[in-house]
Amino acid sequence: MSASSPARPASIDKLVQRFQKVSDPKRRYEQLLWLAKKLDPFPEAAKQDDNKVKGCVSQVYIIADLEDGAVKYLGDSDAQITKGLVAFLIRGLNGLTPQEITNLSPDFIKETQLDVSLTPSRANGFYNIFKMMQQKASELAGTE
């Protein structure tokens, strides 16, 4: 983390460190699959176009709610690796304020080295999922 960037949330730092410790891309995939299994169930009724992440090869859905000033996400994907990426971001962003999420730079994605392990379309999808989550947080900030 550079001195010029604002402090990154501990939840994100913890995930970044966990993935940095793993040098084998196959093990990173295994971690993503493990995270995917831990994801809370996603309501079928929320699988609507306005909750769908654009620019993903897989079907990816994200919804967000505000609970006591903190964002709570739910997400789903029809592909397990992508579902793991969704779970990674949910784990890192849940419980943060909309402001913390909208201010967060996507630099942490590179630091996980997941973008190296992923196909270019998946890596791009990872950024698109993050951007959608930021957009949802921004919308929630407007309703506070």
In tens, the pLDDT along 13-60 reads 999 999 999 888 889 899 999 999 999 999 999 999 999 999 888 999
Domain limits for position 58? 10-141
Which of 11, 30, 28 minimizes the C-alpha distance to 19? 28
Does 56 qualify as catalytic in the annotation? yes
**C-alpha to C-alpha distance for 87 and 1, rounded to whole angstroms:** 23
Q: Which of the following is catalytic: 56, 60, 86, 132?
A: 56
Residues 73-126 pLDDT 10s: 999 999 999 999 999 999 999 999 999 999 999 999 889 888 777 888 888 899
Tell me whether residue 34 is in a domain.
yes
Q: How many domains in the chain?
A: 1
- pTM tops 0.85: yes
Tell me whether residue 4 is in a domain.
no
What's 116's domain CATH number? 3.90.1010.10
| 3-state SS class at 15 | helix
Tell me whether residue 22 is in a domain.
yes
The alpha-helical segments, DSSP class H, found in the chain are: 10-20, 25-37, 80-93, 98-103, 107-111, 114-117, 120-141
Tell me whether residue 2 is in a domain.
no
Query: What number of residues does the chain have?
Result: 144
Tell me whether residue 1 is in a domain.
no
